[in-house]
Structures are given as C-alpha cells and as structure tokens.
Chain A
Amino acid sequence: MKFAILINEGPYQHQATDTAFLFCKAALAKGHEIRRVFFYHDGVNNSSSLTEPPQDDRNIVQRWSKLAEEHKLDLVVCVAAALRRGIKDENLAPGFRISGLGQLVEAGIEADRLVTFGD
C-alpha cells in the first residue's frame, strides 16, 4: 500500500516527528511504500542541517536523511512555510527538497492513505 505522511511540528519540541518516523520505519518494514513525507508548519524545521542535538540524544534530522537514503524517500519541505522560518537550500539537510504545497495535495491524491502527525 502507498502511504503519504504529513508532519506539522518541528523536532524535539513535539513527539509528532518521532511518532511519524517510527510509523514510516514500521510501514517500510512491512513492505509498504512511503510515497512522500511532506513537512509543513513548524515541521519544516526537521530539515535544518544546522541542527545539533547533544551527543546522547537522537539526531532527528540525520535520522530522516538516512531513512530517505536507504529507502529513496521523497522528503518535501513546504517552500512558503520554510521561508517563513529561515529554511533555505543552503541549510537544507541531505535527502530533503523544498517545493510547493501542491506536492502535499498530489501526495494525498496518489497515495492510498495520508496520515498526519502534529500537535
């Protein structure tokens, strides 16, 4: 089955992105396809390459990059939300791309299920 994921909150402040990540991992392990992960609202902060958590904490940004590399995931950051919050190509972590909100609607159309993670 094809899933699309919408993440509306940033890393560390809310559990939403952790839950989304673990959901994606479980879905992939079951042989499902993650059609796209779309980052909106403060969720765009999941893509900042400037993020530096303490050593003993999980690295949420790198974790997404790694999952994207391993499974060829399409991680899309909303351009309007990103520019509002200081996320640009120059500080975008590997595996992410910045694009328009149409990518969210398109993912909703093309996927069998869209699941939202937020606050």
Chain B
Amino acid sequence: MSEGTVKKFMFVNRKAPYGTIYALESLEVVLISAAFDQDVSLVFMDDGVFQLKKGQQTKGIENKNFSPTYRALDGYDIEKLYVEQESLDARGLTEDDLLVDVTVMSKAEMGKLMETMDVVLSF
C-alpha cells in the first residue's frame, strides 16, 4: 500500500531548542520523511518559534548549532514552513527575526490547516 501513497504529514514544533532534545530529533524525522516523497509541512508555534531565531551561537554551551539545517530544508523539497502569528507576538519576535522564509498565519488559519492533514506529529 505504501508504494506511491502520498500522505500529508505535519510536524508540529512547540518546544525551544537546546533546553531539550525534541527540536533536534524532530528535525531528524523531518529530513527522513523527505526520502519518502510525502507532502510535508512544518509548523512552529509556542516556544517552537525560537528554533528559527537568527543568530544562534552554541559554542559556549558545547552543543551543535543545528539551526542552519532549517535553511537547507528546501534542498530536500521541504518548503512548507508555517509560523503562528500569536506565538511570535507573545515572544517579542517578528518574521524578520527568523532565519528562513516562512508563511505566518493566524491561530484560526493554523487550526484549519491542521484539519487538512493525514498524520500530525508533535514534538
């Protein structure tokens, strides 16, 4: 059945990077999903928007800075990145603070988009 099946996968990122491993390991799943030719969307909301903040310097905490990977996603044909406006607002961020091109949408638009998915993975 999986042969040729294309499902709409959504990865919902709601956690900040570095404090926990979820953001990094979520990104690893996203990269793998590209190999399966699925219709992949990434959502960043709540503290997940911090994953996309420009200027991350991780040398001092001796962790790998994985934020450049978000910019490489279009090379994997993963181009649907969505950010919730309300989450940006609540964190003093604007689209200009983000290191990659995204589509900013309202909470209601985000909710409607989720309804159109087949598989939603939340990390």
A and B touch in the complex (CB under 8 A): yes
Does A6 lie within 8 Å of B2, measured CB to CB? no
**Within the complex, which residue of A105, A109, A110 is in contact with B29, where a contact is CB–CB below 8 Å?**
A105
**Within the complex, which residue of A6, A81, A105, A116 is in contact with B38, where a contact is CB–CB below 8 Å?**
A105
A106: chain B residues at CB < 8 Å are 2, 36
In the complex, which of the residues A8, A100, A108, A118 has the most CB atoms of chain B within 10 Å of its own CB atom? A108
Categorize the interface residue count of chain B. Answer: 10 to 19
In the complex, which of the residues B2, B9, B25, B28 has the most CB atoms of chain A within 10 Å of its own CB atom? B25
Q: How many A-B contacts at CB < 8 Å in the complex?
A: 50
B7: chain A residues at CB < 8 Å are 108-109
A116 to B123, CA, bound (A): 9
Size of interface on A: residues with Cβ below 8 Å to B: 18
Tell me whether chain A's interface is mostly helix, strand or loop, or mixed: helix
Q: A108-B119, A114-B121 are in contact. Are A102 and B25 (CB under 8 A)?
A: no
Give chain B's interface residues, CB within 8 Å of chain A: 1-2, 5, 7, 9, 21-22, 25, 28-29, 32-33, 35-36, 38, 119, 121-123
Give chain A's interface residues, CB within 8 Å of chain B: 6, 8, 40-41, 80-81, 100-102, 104-106, 108-110, 114, 116, 118
